[in-house]
Structure formats: structure tokens, C-alpha cells
Amino acid sequence: MFNYRIGALENSICDTIRNTHPSWLLYPNPAFNNLNLDVPNSKQGSPIVIEIFNMLGQLIEKKEYKINLNYQVDISLGNFSRGIYFLKATYGNDKFIGKFLKE
């Protein structure tokens, strides 16, 4: 999929981003109230940590989710303001970073 290179503030998301699993898919984009992350080759019910950062690289939310029966994570964006965000997902040793727009 995509690899992003981002200059970031200290104690923020990171200054170099590389996805260890580019086959993961983050959609819909733009998103309204919900965002989905497909995690192929994962185990149903397994924990995955999702971190969401604003454009300044500040951590907005960190939460542990469970991978559902469709090998996805359903993320609620109801409390987020409109804007551009970065999502970092950590599943075991695998990491994924994606960018999305909240409408």
C-alpha cells in the first residue's frame, strides 16, 4: 500500500514510518463515524492496539481492540473533530501506519 515519511514533533507518532504489513487496509477514507482496519493473517479475538494522532503528531487516543470475525477492527470516530489524522496499529510485532480524513 503506502509508506509515509513524516517529520514529527518529539514524543509524537515518529519521524520515520514504515509499515511491516502493507497489505493491511484502512477504509473508508474519508470516514464519517466509523473506520475499518483489515488485518489479514490475524487471529480472531486477538488484541490489537490502535493509536490515533493529530496532524501535529500528538496522541489523541490509544485503545486496545479485538480483531473481529472478518479479521477487521471497527474504530469509532464519533468524538473526533473533522480533520486529518494518523492511525498506528500494533499487532504483536507487526505495525501499520495509515492516514485518514474524518468528515
pLDDT digits (tens, 9 = 90+) for 76-86: 998 999 999 99
* Residue-number span of the structural domain to which 59 is assigned: 25-102
Residue at 76 is within a domain: yes
Dist. CA 9–CA 15, nearest whole Å: 8
Residue, of 5 and 99, whose pLDDT is higher: 99
Q: What is the CATH number of the domain that holds 92?
A: 2.60.40.3080
The domain total for the chain is 1
User: What pLDDT does residue 29 have?
Assistant: 95
User: What pLDDT does residue 19 have?
Assistant: 62
Residue at 17 is within a domain: no
Average pLDDT over residues 5-23: 51
Residue at 47 is within a domain: yes
Residue at 13 is within a domain: no
| Dihedral class, residue 29 (left if φ above 0, else alpha if ψ from -120 to 50, else beta) | beta
For residue range 19-61, what is the model confidence (pLDDT) as tens digits?
666 689 999 999 999 999 999 889 999 999 999 999 999 999 9
Residue at 7 is within a domain: no
Residue at 3 is within a domain: no
Dist. CA 35–CA 12, nearest whole Å: 22
